[in-house]
Amino acid sequence: MRDTPRPQGTVGDTGARPPQLRPGRALAHNTGASGSGSPHRSDRRPPQTPRGARQSDQDGRPGTSPPVPGRPTFLRSRALLLLGLPAALFALITWQVVANGPLLRTDRAVSRSLLHPDRFSERLADLGNVQIAVPVLVLVLGYAALRDRAGGADRWWLPPAAAAVTMAAVPAWVLPLKDWTARHGTSAVPPGVGYFPSGHTATAAVAYGATALLLLPGLRTVGARRAVVAGCAVLVLAVSYGLVRRGYHWPLDVVAAWCLGVLLLAPLFLLSRRMPRRGPGAPPRA
């Protein structure tokens, strides 16, 4: 007995005749099939491929199952960059200072090229005094608290309190480091130790940096935000230049204080990014 191929046909057809198109069906590549709702299916059966079984995103395109968010990874990378580079640089400079490493030769050479005590550099250095920088921050603390409270912001007291704690952490870090490293000053200051890191630079970086972070949420325009950030950077750089120019500190004392300031401000920066703002000057919530 010889097997014969069965004629092709649709389910339920009998007899050996060519397949016939049935009402309500369409070929696989015909669009707008009756009742299909899909350009690639001829009926209402679920797709049989893993890609077709995925849920569509908001635009109707096949998405991933489950969705894979990309923003948290980016935020983690930025946080690591924000903390890792300053921490590594601060550790390197501190090691060179304690061990009297070769980097100090370059530090002394840069100091000799910039050293020129004058009245202007002294005034610039004074901008890092506690008597000047801290009152500026205190005024902005009060303004930010009143602004966020009047706007009905949740936990309006938290950013000002965090900024105050950050400012109080400056001497808690700087003074022990000065005692431990016991670095001598330049020829422009009386003999003594305790010049690393620069307390004036750290005070300016934290006070003016925290001021900018508290003011930014209440600013509507990009230009105003850039102006505040630029103003903060100019003040810190002015203090740093004045300290080195006047001879109050070595350049590495100042650079190490920059790194310390960034590390101290990092938690406040991350907190300001996470806190919702509903103050009168803040942009509306999405």
Q: Does residue 189 fall inside a structural domain? A: yes
Q: How many independent structural domains does the chain possess?
A: 1
Write out the chain's pLDDT in tens, 286 residues: 444 444 444 444 444 555 555 554 444 444 444 444 445 544 555 555 455 445 544 444 455 445 445 455 555 666 677 788 999 999 999 999 999 999 999 999 999 999 999 999 999 999 999 999 999 999 999 999 999 888 877 888 999 999 999 999 999 999 999 999 999 999 999 999 999 999 999 999 999 999 999 999 888 899 999 999 999 999 999 999 999 999 999 999 999 999 999 999 999 998 887 765 544 444 444 4
pLDDT (0 to 100) of residue 72: 54
Does the residue 152 lie in any domain?
yes
- 148 belongs to a structural domain: yes
pLDDT at 165: 97
Q: How far is CA 268 from CA 84, 121, 234, 257, in A?
A: 16, 31, 20, 17
Domain presence at residue 56: no
Is residue 256 a contact partner of residue 173, using CB atoms and an 8 Å limit? Answer: no
> Which residue type is seen at 237?
L
Q: How far apart are CA 256 and CA 174, in angstroms?
A: 10
Does some domain include residue 11?
no
The secondary element (H helix, E strand) that includes residue 89 is helix 71-99
Amino acid letter, residue 10: T
Domain that holds residue 117: 84-274
What is the separation of C-alpha 271 from the centre of its chain, rounded to a whole number of angstroms? Answer: 10
Q: Would 67 be classed as within a structural domain?
A: no
Q: Is 129 part of a structural domain of the chain?
A: yes
Look at residue 179 and tell me if it is in a domain: yes
